[in-house]
Amino acid sequence: MKLVLALSTAMLAATPSAIGADLSLVGIGFICGAETATAPTGGAASGVMLPGFGDVAFAVDTTSKEAEAWFNHGLRLYHAFAHDEAKAAFARAAAADPSCSLCAAGVALSLGPTLNTGITPLETIDALKMARRAGELAKPGDVRAKGLAEALQLRYGAETPKEGREQAFGHALDALVRADPADNMLANLAAHVLIIPARQDDYSGVPRAIEILEMVLARSPDDSAAIHYYIHATEFAGKAGLALPYANRLADLSPGAGHLVHMGTHTMMRVGHYEDVALNNARALKVDAESQVGLAQSGALSQRYYLHNYLFGLGGALMAGDGALAVKYADHAERTFPKAAPERSKVLSRARSLVALARFDPERALAVPAGKDDPRILAIYRHYARGEALAAKRDAKGVRREAAAIAALRAQGPKPADLGGEVDVATISEGVLLGRAAMIARKPREAVGHFERAALAQEKAFPVPRNFDPPPWWYPVRRSLAAAYLKAGKPTEAAAAARASLAEWPHDALALRILAQADKAKATEYRAEARKSWQGDLAKVPLDLT
């Protein structure tokens, strides 16, 4: 696995058996580290720079070494989406030298939108004040400082530009880049802003962002900001694989930035490197927990990315067949999230974790009690997990009973308190269980119908191009359809369904195994690829549970 090359020397030394033998131990170690995190750092608010955010630095219009250091630290934090820390760092830079134009511009920049955050009306007012201040402080002939200040004023001005604030800001920054293509600081800022409108399905700036970032990476291949935005931009463009060489290295370039440790897994998930997804996100949990211990917040779970990284990593472990690591993720949800997490994090982490128990520890899944006040999404996943566990016992009647319970929950329709997609998840999970029951009962033709409807429901509700961050449903149901076709004696249809599944979920070992059985001409090739992608024993996963 490529991730082994990216793991820290210390970690590998602590777990020598992990290389080639049991990578899941590495991930388990990371999650254990998240559960026992301690850190001596205090963050920008207390005058301490968090370590591990890289060392890229630029010349700043100041004679103050302190101001320059805090500006560059703020910029690294900003590009790592450590939003609050970036604001505090830029504020320290501006305080260290009130005559520094770029320092004031940094404050204005940090108050504004990023790909992951918006801006309040009050922040807009404050940001405009600082942008104007940056313009006033720009020294004659300082094209960068003057241009950045003017672009920021355009972004925050009283009148909204006809093309939109972010679009206008992005085009203004792009003009600066075209005038000075060698300026990596402006290039990274421009590329980021050009892709922000993609949040609202405006992808017009993505091609130019990719062009800018490839220019930066050609001369500075270790620029973590450029790598971060290149991963996003290529994902938006449907060309995620282009970023893989950089994604594989990003965690080690910024080992203290939890979001960047995680970020490479966007690419890895798209290209089917599922074990790398599981391991990198376990590492990100540890980094986030450690960095948050010393900050003036409510602990590791106040980090907004924690749940995101958790769900991403769990999904990778499930797709990789890494049972030990998947169960550790499930244990983490049970052990850590209930202590301090927001309600949404507690519910979603616990709900999704039940899939890991269902697939790799079915007795535990069956032992999970129903809570009197369980949110509906948790109830849906509990019944689904029980159904999968009963399918492993070949109890078709029991599986259908759990499917019926899900159908009753689905019939309640959408509710204001829904956590998102609950009716769709119920539809998919019910269909999967009905398909499992039919397979167990040796009725593969009936299973075809159930799996086909569930696959169509999944692909309609959660189309892969827009829903892989992480996928809302844990696996491609179309592979189960392929399994049903194979059991029904229809290898041609099975191969077609498996290929369709692999087109969107590449290197899925279980789909590859079906393809090996359906397409005898390339069976050896497909089996080898499947074994490479699966962390457990493929022979232990019956066709009925594929």
Instruction: Write the pLDDT tens digit of every residue in 305-336.
Output: 889 999 999 999 999 999 999 999 999 998 87
Q: How far apart are CA 60 and CA 103, in angstroms?
A: 8
- Predicted TM-score of the model (pTM): 0.93
* Higher per-residue pLDDT: 349 or 300: 349
Q: How far apart are CA 263 and CA 391, in angstroms?
A: 35
Q: Which of 142, 143, 206 is nearest to 176 (CA)?
A: 143
Q: pLDDT value at position 44?
A: 63
Q: pLDDT value at position 419?
A: 80
What does the DSSP assignment read for 69-101? HHHHHHHHHHHTT-HHHHHHHHHHHHHH-TT-H
Mean pLDDT of 518-526: 97
Return the half-sphere exposure (C-beta side, CA atoms, 13 A cut-off) of residue 17. Answer: 5
Which of 103-107, 243-247, 377-381, 467-471 is predicted with the least confidence, judged by mean pLDDT? 467-471
SS3 for 172-215 is HHHHHHHHCCCCHHHHHHHHHHHHHHHHHCCCCCHHHHHHHHHH
Q: How far apart are CA 52 and CA 66, in angstroms?
A: 19
Q: pLDDT value at position 339?
A: 61
Q: pLDDT value at position 392?
A: 98
Question: In the numeric block, which tokens belong to residue 265?
Answer: 């897994």
Q: pLDDT value at position 509?
A: 98
* Higher per-residue pLDDT: 23 or 73: 73
Q: Where are the alpha helices (DSSP H) in 220-305?
A: 224-236, 244-253, 258-271, 274-293
Count of Cβ atoms closer than 10 Å to residue 489 Cβ? 10
Q: What do you get for the CA distance between the two ends of the chain, in Å?
A: 24
Q: pLDDT value at position 3?
A: 46
Q: How many residues does the chain have?
A: 546
Mean pLDDT of 177-185: 98
Q: pLDDT value at position 295?
A: 62
Q: pLDDT value at position 232?
A: 98
Instruction: Write the pLDDT tens digit of every residue in 78-114.
Output: 999 998 899 999 999 999 999 999 999 999 999 999 9
Q: How far apart are CA 395 and CA 119, in angstroms?
A: 53
Q: pLDDT value at position 342?
A: 76
Q: pLDDT value at position 160?
A: 85
Mean pLDDT of 358-374: 95
Output the average pLDDT for the chain: 91
Mean pLDDT of 355-378: 96
Query: H or E segment at 123?
Result: helix 121-137
21: pLDDT strictly greater than 50:
no
- 354 — pLDDT class (breaks 50, 70, 90): very high
CB 83 within 8 A of CB 110: yes
- 39 — pLDDT class (breaks 50, 70, 90): low
Which residue pairs from 372-379 have beta carbons closer than 8 angstroms and sit at least 24 positions apart in sequence? 375/347, 375/417, 375/419, 376/409, 376/412, 376/415, 376/418, 376/422, 377/347, 377/348, 377/351, 377/418, 377/419, 377/422, 377/425, 378/347, 378/350, 378/351, 379/409
Mean pLDDT of 356-383: 96
CB 515 within 8 A of CB 499: yes
Question: In the numeric block, which tokens belong to residue 237?
Answer: 């463009």
Q: pLDDT value at position 42?
A: 60
Q: How far apart are CA 333 and CA 349, in angstroms?
A: 6
Mean pLDDT of 410-423: 87
Q: Kindly provide the b/e burial profile for residues 244-283, where b requires at least 16 CB atoms within 10 angstroms of the residue's own CB.
A: bebbbbbbbbbbbbbbbbbbbbbbbbbbbbbbbbbbbbbb
Instruction: Write the pLDDT tens digit of every residue in 121-139.
Output: 999 999 999 999 999 999 9
* Higher per-residue pLDDT: 242 or 468: 242
CB 215 within 8 A of CB 187: yes
Q: pLDDT value at position 203?
A: 96
Instruction: Write the pLDDT tens digit of every residue in 212-244.
Output: 999 999 999 999 999 999 999 999 999 999 999
Q: pLDDT value at position 324?
A: 96
Q: pLDDT value at position 453?
A: 99
Mean pLDDT of 379-401: 98
Return the half-sphere exposure (C-beta side, CA atoms, 13 A cut-off) of residue 417. Answer: 9
Q: Which of 431, 470, 463 is nearest to 447 (CA)?
A: 431
